[in-house]
Amino acid sequence: MNQQELQALRAMIATHKRWDYMFGVLGILALMLALMTFVALFADMAVNGLGRINVDFLTSFPSRRAANAGILSAWVGSVLVMLVTACAAVPLGVAAGVYLEEYAPKNWVTDIIEINVTNLAGVPSIIYGLLALGLFVYTFGLGQSILTAGLTLALLILPIVIVATREAIRAIPQIIREGAYACGATTWQVVSDHIVPYSSAGILTGVIIGMARAIGETAPIITVGALTFIAFLPTAPFAGDPPAGLFDWLFAPFTVMPIQMFNWTSRPEAAFLNNAAAAGLILVLMTLTMNGLAIWLRYRLRKNIKW
């Protein structure tokens, strides 16, 4: 290659590399836009709400006076509802996902089920609220309770859990499955010894992401009839007189964080807006903590999984 050709080659490479550079800049701009929006929202809430956050705020019931109002019943309600949601959504979602991936015959019935599961993820959450109102509250008579809310949110995140389970299972190389079958394992042995353990990181991530979404849901909870003003906690197991049963709290009336916030923002006094901001800050922190937990769990569990 002579000197002239070499020059031309270098010029061409330089031109092509310019595009690399330009796309890099564009990407950073796009990222900044998303990040800055979040930071601005968070900062705004922090400015308004940080002053209200203290131990009293977390341990007080709502009150007519903004300065005395707290979020005790709201966060306890949120935590309990999430507990019910997790207990309902995880076994159902994992079982459904495992069935679809490992057991279901590949035919048109399975195809239709798959399409429906995917579509369910796109149904507006208020529709789930309406369904739950009719099904859980009236038909099953579960009342406007923590159980009803938890089951409703479980339905809402079920598609997310199923899809996450299926994705996690699909990530397991076929050769691992074949290796297990070649040892003489039955499908159930393959699922319980290999498929579920190896996909647990992905499943957990999906569950937590679903829960992070559910914890912020307002519409379906309002629809099933959460109260906006609750100045008591659900009875703890075996507490009170006569002693409550182990699961009595499931049927207690409740409120959750987003509803509490919604309630405060609709008050005329400015002080309540600061309360709402403070509650929002805590809600965001709860969500971030859950996401953090998801990342940590995924890292922990994946460390032992190498193909």
Partner 1 sequence: MNPITEHNSRETLSPLKAEAKKLNFYYGNFQALKNINMPIYEKKVTSLIGPSGCGKSTYLRCFNRMHDLYPGNRYEGAIEFHPDRTDLLSKKVDPIEVRMRISMVFQKPNPFPKSIYENVAYGLRVRGESARSVIDDKVEAALRSAALWGEVKDRLKELGANLSGGQQQRLCIARALATDPELLLFDEPTSALDPIATASIEELITELKERVTILIVTHNMQQAARISDFTAYMYIGEMVEFGVTDQIFIKPKRKETEDYITGRFG
CA dihedral 257, 294, 121, 82 (to 10 degrees): -30
Minimum distance, C-beta of residue 161 to partner 1, in the bound complex (Å): 23
User: Is 305 an interacting residue with respect to partner 1 (CB under 8 A)?
Assistant: yes
Q: Which stretch binds partner 1 (CB under 8 A): 14-22, 43-51, 170-178, 215-223?
A: 170-178
Contacts of 110 (CB under 8 A, 6+ apart): 100, 104
Contact indicator for 238, 133 with CB cutoff of 8 Å: no
User: Is 99 an interacting residue with respect to partner 1 (CB under 8 A)?
Assistant: no
Q: Which stretch binds partner 1 (CB under 8 A): 93-101, 188-196, 262-270, 292-300?
A: 188-196
Number of chain residues interacting with partner 1 (CB under 8 A): 23
Q: Which of 58/104 has CB closer to partner 1?
A: 104
Structure tokens at 293: 């937990």
Q: Which stretch binds partner 1 (CB under 8 A): 51-59, 65-73, 178-186, 264-272?
A: 178-186
User: Is 194 an interacting residue with respect to partner 1 (CB under 8 A)?
Assistant: yes
User: Is 171 an interacting residue with respect to partner 1 (CB under 8 A)?
Assistant: no
Minimum distance, C-beta of residue 15 to partner 1, in the bound complex (Å): 40
| HEC secondary structure over 168-214 | HHHCCCHHHHHHHHHCCCCHHHHHHHHHHHHHHHHHHHHHHHHHHHH
Residue 175: exposure state from Cβ atoms within 10 A (0-12, 13-18, ≥19): exposed
- Cα 194 to Cα 279: distance, rounded to the nearest angstrom: 42
| HEC secondary structure over 105-134 | CCCHHHHHHHHHHHHHCCCCHHHHHHHHHH
Q: Coil, strand, or helix at residue 266?
A: coil
Q: Coil, strand, or helix at residue 65?
A: coil
Nearest Cα to 278, choosing from 44, 39, 40? 44
User: Is 182 an interacting residue with respect to partner 1 (CB under 8 A)?
Assistant: yes
Q: Which of 12, 13, 175, 239 binds partner 1 (CB under 8 A)?
A: 175
Minimum distance, C-beta of residue 176 to partner 1, in the bound complex (Å): 6
User: Is 186 an interacting residue with respect to partner 1 (CB under 8 A)?
Assistant: yes
- Cα 226 to Cα 77: distance, rounded to the nearest angstrom: 10
Q: Which of 213/302 has CB closer to partner 1?
A: 302
Minimum distance, C-beta of residue 295 to partner 1, in the bound complex (Å): 20
Minimum distance, C-beta of residue 181 to partner 1, in the bound complex (Å): 6
Nearest Cα to 39, choosing from 298, 284, 291, 286? 284
Q: Which of 24, 51, 91, 173 binds partner 1 (CB under 8 A)?
A: 173
Contacts of 176 (CB under 8 A, 6+ apart): 194, 198, 307
Q: Which of 155, 161, 180, 214 binds partner 1 (CB under 8 A)?
A: 180
Q: Which of 64, 178, 285, 299 binds partner 1 (CB under 8 A)?
A: 178
**Residues numbered 197-216 forming contacts with partner 1, rule: CB under 8 A:** 198
Start-to-end CA span in the chain (Å): 45
User: Is 183 an interacting residue with respect to partner 1 (CB under 8 A)?
Assistant: yes
Q: Which of 52/177 has CB closer to partner 1?
A: 177
- Cα 109 to Cα 121: distance, rounded to the nearest angstrom: 19
**Residues numbered 101-130 forming contacts with partner 1, rule: CB under 8 A:** 105-106
- Name the site residues for partner 1 (rule: CB under 8 A): 105-106, 173, 175-186, 189, 193-194, 198, 304-307
